[in-house]
Every structure is written in C-alpha cells, then in structure tokens.
C-alpha cells in the first residue's frame, strides 16, 4: 500500500467515524469522502462497512447504485453534458457524440492526460439555451461542437 493510499484510508476512517452516529449515516459519509478526496476509493468500502457494522456488499451497492459517486480519481475538470429532453430536442445527442470522440472517453471516464472527466447530467436548468454543458461549476448554453472546442481550450 502506498503512502497516499494509507493516508486516504486514515481520512476515510476519520470521516466515517465522525458521522457514524447520525441516522442514515452511509450516504453522508460517502458524500464526505468524495468531497474530501474527489472520489470514493475502493478501500473505503471495507472501512465504511467496518465503522457502520455493515457488509461490504451493502456499502458497495450504494456506491455503485448512485451515479454521483466516482470510484476512480477524477480529471482536473469535469465536463457535464445535459441529457434532458429540452437539450436532446436541440441536438445534445450529436454534441455527446462529438465530445466522446474529441475527448476519447465515454461517460464516467477520464481522459488519458487526466484533464477532463465526462459526466452526464439530467438538467442544468438552462433549457431556454439548449443544448447546455457545464465545466466544473460554469454553465454554457447553445453549445455547438465548435463552441465546445472553445470552452475546452
């Protein structure tokens, strides 16, 4: 185990123990882990299960059920592509295809250089300016492939 992994394990245990007495503690603990580390490492499943006296299968099931939780280190930036109906009606499927090809990844993956993670989202609240994308916390509307190139540059 690397030094970074053991440090992460210590942080995970600390975060889990800090919330273990809360009602329904599992989701708040997983959110805290992802907020701190950027993802939920594989080793966190056993630690959280131990702290909460749950099976590893129960914790793993929650981590994998919710698309929000990442199990791998994310890219430096996250590109969210809206997949809601308004954006689909304005061409977001073609934009998805373009983004996947340009970045060389599928949803829930990170580019080889670690720069971008690609994630689907099901409404950015920017329906009047469809199709919409978000990079980290900045929302962009009326995005075309050419505009996406500019945004990612």
Question: Which pLDDT does position 3 carry in this prediction?
Answer: 63
Asked which of 65, 98, 117 is the last residue of a domain, the reply is 65
Whether the per-residue pLDDT at 1 is higher than 60: the answer is no
Over the stretch 29-77, which tens digit does the pLDDT of each residue have? 999 999 999 999 999 999 999 999 999 999 999 999 998 899 999 999 9
- What are the tokens at 44? 């966190």
> pLDDT grade, residue 123 (50/70/90)?
very high
Are 57 and 83 found together in one domain? no
89: in domain = yes
Domain that holds residue 134: 77-152
Q: Residues 81, 20: one domain?
A: no
pLDDT at 45: 98
Does residue 56 sit in the same domain as residue 88? no
Report long-range pairs for 72-75 (Cβ below 8 Å, ≥24 apart): 72/39, 72/110, 73/38, 73/39, 73/110, 73/114, 74/38, 74/39, 74/110, 74/117, 75/110, 75/111, 75/114, 75/115, 75/116, 75/117
Q: Name which residue leads in pLDDT, 95 or 3.
A: 95
Split into its structural domains, the chain has a count of 2
pLDDT of residue 59: 98
* % the chain with pLDDT above 90: 92
In the 8-state DSSP scheme, what is residue 74?
P
> Which of 26, 43, 65 represents a domain boundary (last residue)?
65
- Residue percentage of the chain with pLDDT more than 70: 97
9-15: average pLDDT: 96
Instruction: Give the CATH number, domain containing residue 140.
Output: 3.40.30.10
pLDDT at 14 over 90: yes
Q: How far apart are CA 112 and CA 122, in angstroms?
A: 25
pLDDT value, residue 6: 78
7 — pLDDT class (breaks 50, 70, 90): confident
């Amino acid at each position: 185990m690397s030094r970074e992994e053991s440090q992460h394990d210590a942080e995970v245990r600390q975060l889990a123990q800090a919330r273990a007495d809360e009602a329904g503690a599992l989701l708040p603990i997983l959110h805290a882990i992802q907020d701190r580390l950027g993802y939920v490492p594989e080793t966190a499943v056993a630690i959280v299960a131990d702290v909460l006296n749950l099976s590893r299968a129960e914790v793993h099931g929650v981590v994998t059920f919710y698309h929000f939780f990442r199990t791998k280190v994310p890219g430096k930036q996250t590109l969210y592509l809206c997949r809601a109906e308004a954006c689909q009606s304005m061409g977001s499927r073609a934009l998805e295809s373009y983004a996947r090809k340009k970045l060389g990844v599928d949803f829930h993956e990170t580019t080889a250089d670690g720069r971008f993670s690609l994630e689907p989202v099901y409404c950015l609240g920017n329906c009047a300016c469809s199709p919409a994308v978000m990079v980290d916390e900045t929302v962009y509307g009326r995005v075309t492939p050419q505009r996406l190139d500019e945004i990612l540059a």
